[in-house]
């Protein structure tokens, strides 16, 4: 499958973010969560065909707040597409910083060669406390 990045409308992006981003450490209302990124112009879609597959926040030479939009999930190929787009757009030659990476996304980020990958700390603690490798018990 081929992917491409498309600039997202900030209001629509904030609604998708509030709906699909796994946020285990802070649970404000949906309305409050939509306000978090509603004024930002740094949201992008990873598009598969005509479908929005992933939302990603690209700013300050970093990739963050990545969320899959069902039925899609985060893959190494998608992360690689985001990385390539960002490096080309920002004319960078060094690795990007990835932040607020969910524990279940870490492998996909690292497989693309991203060196600076920050796992979302509270989510990671809950993930480990659940004692399960694939995280399925956290979202059951």
In this prediction, residue 23 carries a pLDDT of: 67
Residue 90 included in any domain: yes
What number of other Cβ atoms are within 10 A of residue 129's Cβ?
9
In this prediction, residue 69 carries a pLDDT of: 95
Number of domains in the chain: 1
Which residues pair with residue 57 across a beta bridge?
A: 43, 64
Residue 56 included in any domain: yes
Question: What is the CATH classification number for the domain harbouring 97?
Answer: 3.40.630
In this prediction, residue 84 carries a pLDDT of: 85
Beta strands in the chain (DSSP E): 3-7, 43-48, 51-59, 62-68, 97-101, 116-119
Residue pLDDT tens, the chain, 140 long = 788 899 999 889 888 888 888 865 556 676 776 777 777 788 999 999 999 999 998 887 888 889 999 999 899 998 988 888 888 887 776 667 888 888 888 899 889 888 688 887 544 443 343 343 343 333 32
Residue 131 included in any domain: yes
Q: Which domain holds residue 30?
A: 3-135
Residue 140 included in any domain: no
Residue 89 included in any domain: yes
Backbone dihedral angles phi then psi of residue 36, each to the nearest 5 degrees: -55, -45
In this prediction, residue 132 carries a pLDDT of: 38
Backbone dihedral angles phi then psi of residue 34, each to the nearest 5 degrees: -65, -25
């Amino acid at each position: 499958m081929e992917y491409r990045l498309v600039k997202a409308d900030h209001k629509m992006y904030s609604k998708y973010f509030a709906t699909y981003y796994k946020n285990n450490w802070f649970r404000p209302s949906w309305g409050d969560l939509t306000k978090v990124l509603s004024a930002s112009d740094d949201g992008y879609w990873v598009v598969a065909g005509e479908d929005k597959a992933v939302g990603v926040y690209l700013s300050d030479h970093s990739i963050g707040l990545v969320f899959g939009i069902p039925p899609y999930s985060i893959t190494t190929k998608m992360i690689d597409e985001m990385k390539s787009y960002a490096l080309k757009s920002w004319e960078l030659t060094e690795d990007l910083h990835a932040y607020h990476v969910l524990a279940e996304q870490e492998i996909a980020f690292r497989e693309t060669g991203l060196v600076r990958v920050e796992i979302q700390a509270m989510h990671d603690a809950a993930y480990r406390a659940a004692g399960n490798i694939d995280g399925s018990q956290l979202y059951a």
